[in-house]
Amino acid sequence: MPFHYQLYDYWLRSTGIWVSPLLTLNVDWLNESEISAIAQIHALERVEFGIKMSWEYRKKLDSDYMSWCVDTKHPNVVFTDKSISHNSAPSIFSYQMRDPNRLVMSVGKYEETIVLESYNKRLREHRYEGKLMRRLWETKVDATIAPLAMVS
């Protein structure tokens, strides 16, 4: 069983394509070479699994991505390939599973809460310095059943 089991289970249920009025978001598992790249950046030794997210905005011609993984030696921490700001430096986020359906991730003054309301509906909230900046309802239109890679 993974050390980060609750987080793993949460993302297992979250993989797939999500749409909102703002964007289309694809959530999928990292493969072993993608995991290795992030592990090397952060000098991680016991990576369990990783997630990649890519998105395309619906009202402007722009897209982006972010990948991250977790390591058994680091509880409640996510290691990313880039930051949430406009620079591309790797980052480290804290995370909390408030319950099996509510994930809160934070770095610095930024916080994102993602709540799985059902199999195909979720709420994402972005806060900066505690102030709500954006609230998005997303609907899942496609789902991946099993992870591509999990490293132990």
Give me the domain span that covers residue 67.
4-139
Give the chain's domain count: 1
Whether 146 is in a domain gets the answer: no
Those residues with Cβ within 8 angstroms of residue 43's Cβ, 6 or more apart along the chain or in another chain: none
- pLDDT tens digits for range 74-116: 999 999 998 766 567 899 999 999 999 999 999 999 999 999 9
What is the residue type of 37?
A
What one-character DSSP code corresponds to residue 109? T
Query: Can you say whether the dihedral through the CA atoms of 140, 79, 129, 10 is positive or negative?
Result: positive
* pLDDT at site 147: 45
pTM: 0.85
State which amino acid sits at residue 117.
E
Q: What is the CATH number of the domain that holds 80?
A: 2.40.128.20
- Please state, in angstroms and rounded to a whole number, the distance separating the CA atoms of residues 114 and 94: 14
In a domain, 106, yes or no: yes
Strands 102-107 and 23-29: unpaired
